[in-house]
């Protein structure tokens, strides 16, 4: 939910699309699971983490064209939780989140924290370093937060070609007021967060990062509803035009 507006995931998906020309296929149904109560350290008023909770979104305005995706919480423990993310572009992702007294980080430090697969390629994380968090425990007026995530990973194509890459994302956000908005899933009273994100992609050559180009920069506005999660996200950047993502349906367990 991007970001969950953390939107590290979609940024990584774009990398796979560019390197491996992902094909289009229908999205898979979210896995069945049994609801469970949120663990105290993962309890967040604006992002439910109980097992089985799911959110479905629709995107428009992206240069990649329209697409849909569903996030589902599939595991929960004392340290964090796992989401299974399935996209209509044929890409599936597994992301392990870390909980910090209600502050939620999009990836934890484990080497298996990120896995992205498609019919054309797979991205596996080999090592991850993270600082800060993506979703705050405090959505009060004047609050600000940041997150930096560095992923060293390996992309393997369907023809068994491999490339080692490093992805670095830096996110800075601040609360920007409240607003009532309407999306396909309904009408919601929300808290608005204004963010900036920078993403850098490098090739790893004998362990040294060689930049693949200038960093991609985005301005992001996210709207969160209490007890539900991300309702809407508008992203405007240097590489992808202006993209609008809206909640189409949800189920909080």
Q: Say what the pLDDT of residue 104 is.
A: 92
- 80 part of a folded domain: yes
Give the residue among 100, 82, 91, 77 at the shortest CA–CA distance from 27.
91
Cβ-count burial of 132 within 10 angstroms (0-12 exposed, 13-18 middle, 19+ buried)? middle
- Tell me which residue of 245, 15, 231 sits closest to 122, measured CA to CA: 15
| Residue at 1 is within a domain | no
pLDDT of residue 20: 39
Task: Identify whether 3 is part of a domain.
Answer: no
Q: What is the pLDDT of residue 210?
A: 80
Cα gap 117→28, rounded to integer Å:
13
- pLDDT value, residue 1: 41
- pLDDT tens across 14-39, in order? 454 444 333 333 333 333 333 444 56
Domain count, the chain: 1
Decide if 2 is inside a domain. no
Q: Give the global pTM.
A: 0.81
Q: Give me the pLDDT at residue 28, please.
A: 32
**Domain residues for 17?**
8-251
Looking at the domain assignment, is residue 24 inside a domain? yes
Nearest to 253, CA basis, from 34, 12, 28, 5: 34
Q: Is 124 exposed, middle or buried (0-12, 13-18, 19+ CB in 10 A)?
A: middle
Q: The domain that contains 96 carries what CATH number?
A: 2.40.360.20
Per-residue pLDDT at 35? 42
Which residues of the chain, if any, have pLDDT below 50?
Answer: 1-11, 13-14, 16-37
């Amino acid at each position: 939910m991007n970001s969950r507006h953390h939107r590290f995931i979609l940024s990584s998906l774009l990398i796979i699309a560019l390197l491996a020309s992902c094909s289009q296929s229908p999205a898979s149904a979210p896995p069945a699971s049994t609801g469970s109560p949120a663990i105290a350290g993962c309890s967040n008023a604006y992002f439910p983490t109980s097992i089985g909770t799911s959110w479905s979104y629709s995107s428009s305005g992206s240069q990649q064209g329209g697409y849909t995706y569903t996030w589902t919480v599939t595991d929960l423990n004392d340290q964090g939780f796992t989401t299974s993310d399935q996209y209509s572009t044929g890409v599936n992702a597994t992301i392990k989140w870390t909980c910090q007294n209600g502050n939620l980080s999009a990836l934890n430090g484990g080497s298996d924290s990120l896995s992205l697969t498609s019919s054309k390629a797979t991205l596996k994380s080999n090592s991850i370093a993270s600082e800060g968090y993506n979703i705050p425990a405090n959505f009060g007026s004047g609050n600000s937060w940041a997150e930096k995530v560095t992923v060293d990973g390996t992309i393997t194509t369907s023809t068994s070609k491999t490339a080692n890459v490093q992805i670095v994302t830096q996110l800075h956000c601040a609360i920007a007021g409240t607003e009532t908005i309407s999306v396909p899933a309904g009408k919601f009273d929300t808290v608005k967060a204004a963010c900036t994100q920078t993403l850098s992609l490098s090739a790893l050559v004998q362990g040294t990062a060689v930049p693949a180009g200038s960093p991609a920069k985005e301005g992001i506005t996210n709207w969160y509803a209490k007890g539900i999660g991300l309702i809407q996200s508008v992203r405007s950047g240097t590489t992808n035009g202006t993209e609008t993502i809206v909640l189409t349906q949800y189920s909080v367990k």
